[in-house]
């Protein structure tokens, strides 16, 4: 470990990536977090636990000095393996390269105590990132913002791209921040569609924010940074790897109030995002498609095996988000003349028995029962202990 833990070194490192003038303790904590983010791979729970126990600066000091770092809940052997993973990467050159590249890119360092830090990340516990690097406005994923992750297969079909575009446009227009991973296919469509309607969108990258990936999406990622935000926990200069994609997926799931999978084959990485959302206890949705389409097989598995909500449109997502208190579907289409007579004979304020509804509507009680069953199916009527009433909202 060749890193100097001094206020001067900290100030030099943070210059140009932070605007504020931190007090010494905060300064050293910020610098130590920055170093930790260079030293460990994303989501390293051993490092997360060590930093939680000792504090970022003290833990780093001990790591550099070779002092004991024993930590509750971490086996000695896991800790030893952690030290052997981290030490080779504790290099002032690597830290300097990361901050220099961040300055060139205009990336800012965001820390857990900052007002813009997304509180949702706390659900990741010891797997939460040490820092975030941000191009653009990190406040778009602040706690008061409704956020939806729209993710899916790179190998999307025209159908999937169409649905992703509609969902993103409609939700972004309604003020929801669209979170995604900037990949080809569904992710890219989600960002592009949100930008297109002038909405909010945030891309999470698996590598550094100075390295737009995939390169074919460099312009899209730049546009997202200008109008929204591009975020990563990995330092600038870090190339994406398979593991970093999987780790990045946990950030997407954690930053989103709800995650919606639009299209996914059974091997799609977006299923990993779905698994993280489920593990975090966040509402999870998936868009169905033809059972003959391999690109929807993963979505069907999310609905079947992960209890994911079946999403047919933005209204269903808004319901998952709790943004609506009643379905916004139109039920008028289910009306027949007899159905109209039955519904007209019912009240939204008072329950009535099928027989009373039959009397009022002049339709046989049996037929009334059949029509009530049909109307219940479409959510037009509700059963109460003392009979049936009309549902309030039949917008």
- CA 181, distance to chain mean position in Å, is 10
User: Shortest approach of its own copies to residue 15 CB, angstroms?
Assistant: 32
52 binds its own copies (CB under 8 A): no
- Bridge partners of 180? 203
Q: Write out the DSSP string of 12-30.
A: HHHBTTB-S---HHHHHHH
288 binds its own copies (CB under 8 A): yes
Nearer to its own copies, 58 or 316 (CB): 316
Nearer to its own copies, 24 or 355 (CB): 355
Question: Residues 240, 146: contact at Cβ < 8 Å?
Answer: no
Q: Which of residues 241-260 bind its own copies (CB under 8 A)?
A: 243, 246-247
Q: Which of residues 69-108 bind its own copies (CB under 8 A)?
A: 75, 78, 81, 85
Nearer to its own copies, 304 or 384 (CB): 304
Helix ranges restricted to H, the chain:
7-14, 24-39, 45-54, 56-65, 76-86, 92-105, 158-173, 186-196, 218-227, 242-255, 270-279, 294-305, 314-321, 337-344, 354-361, 365-377
365 binds its own copies (CB under 8 A): yes
Nearer to its own copies, 75 or 344 (CB): 75
How many whole angstroms separate alpha carbon 167 and alpha carbon 155?
Answer: 18
382 binds its own copies (CB under 8 A): no
Per-residue CA distances from 133 to 12, 46, 113, 210 (Å):
17, 22, 14, 10
User: Shortest approach of its own copies to residue 370 CB, angstroms?
Assistant: 4
Q: Which of 55, 106, 240, 313 binds its own copies (CB under 8 A)?
A: 313
- Give the CA angle between residues 291, 274, 133 to the nearest 5°: 135
161 binds its own copies (CB under 8 A): no
How many whole angstroms separate alpha carbon 255 and alpha carbon 351?
Answer: 43
Q: Which of 44, 58, 114, 170 binds its own copies (CB under 8 A)?
A: 44
Q: Give the residues lining the site for its own copies (CB under 8 A).
A: 41, 43-46, 75, 78, 81, 85, 159, 162-163, 243, 246-247, 266-267, 271-272, 274-276, 279, 287-292, 296-297, 300-301, 303-306, 309-313, 316, 333-334, 355, 364-367, 369-370, 373-374, 376-379
């Amino acid at each position: 470990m060749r890193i100097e833990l001094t206020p001067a070194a900290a100030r030099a490192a943070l210059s140009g990536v932070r605007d504020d003038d931190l007090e010494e303790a905060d300064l050293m904590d910020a610098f130590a977090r920055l170093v930790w983010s260079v030293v460990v791979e994303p989501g390293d729970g051993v490092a997360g636990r060590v930093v939680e126990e000792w504090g970022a600066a003290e833990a780093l000091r001990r790591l550099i000095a070779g002092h004991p770092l024993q930590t509750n809940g971490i086996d000695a052997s896991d800790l030893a393996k952690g030290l052997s993973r981290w030490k080779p990467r504790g290099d002032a050159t690597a830290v300097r390269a990361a901050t220099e590249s961040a300055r060139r890119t205009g990336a800012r360092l965001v820390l857990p105590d900052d007002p813009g830090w997304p509180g949702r990340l706390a659900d990741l516990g010891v797997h939460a990132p040490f820092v975030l690097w941000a191009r653009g406005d990190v406040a778009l994923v602040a706690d008061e913002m409704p956020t939806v992750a729209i993710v899916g297969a790179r190998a999307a079909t025209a159908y999937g791209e169409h649905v992703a575009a509609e969902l993103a446009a409609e939700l972004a227009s309604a003020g929801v921040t669209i979170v995604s991973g900037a990949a080809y296919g569904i992710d890219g469509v989600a960002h592009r569609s949100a930008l297109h309607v002038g909405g909010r969108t945030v891309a999470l990258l698996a590598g550094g924010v100075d390295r737009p990936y995939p390169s074919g999406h460099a312009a899209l990622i730049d546009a997202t940074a200008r109008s929204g935000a591009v975020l990563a926990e990995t330092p600038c200069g870090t190339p994406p790897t398979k593991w970093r994609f999987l780790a990045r997926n946990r950030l997407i799931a954690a930053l989103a109030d709800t995650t919606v999978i639009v299209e996914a084959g059974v091997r799609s990485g977006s299923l990993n995002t779905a698994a993280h959302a489920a593990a975090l206890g966040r509402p999870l949705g998936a868009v169905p498609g033809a059972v003959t389409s391999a690109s929807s097989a993963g979505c069907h598995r999310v609905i079947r095996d992960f209890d994911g909500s079946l999403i047919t449109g933005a209204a269903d997502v808004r319901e998952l988000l709790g943004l609506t208190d009643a379905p916004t579907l139109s039920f008028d289409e289910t009306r027949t003349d007899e159905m109209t007579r039955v519904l007209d004979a019912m009240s939204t304020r008072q329950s009535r028995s099928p027989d009373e509804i039959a009397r009022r509507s002049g339709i046989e009680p049996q037929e009334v029962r059949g029509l009530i069953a049909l109307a219940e199916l479409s959510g037009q009527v509700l059963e109460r202990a003392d009979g049936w009433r009309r549902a309030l909202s039949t917008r």
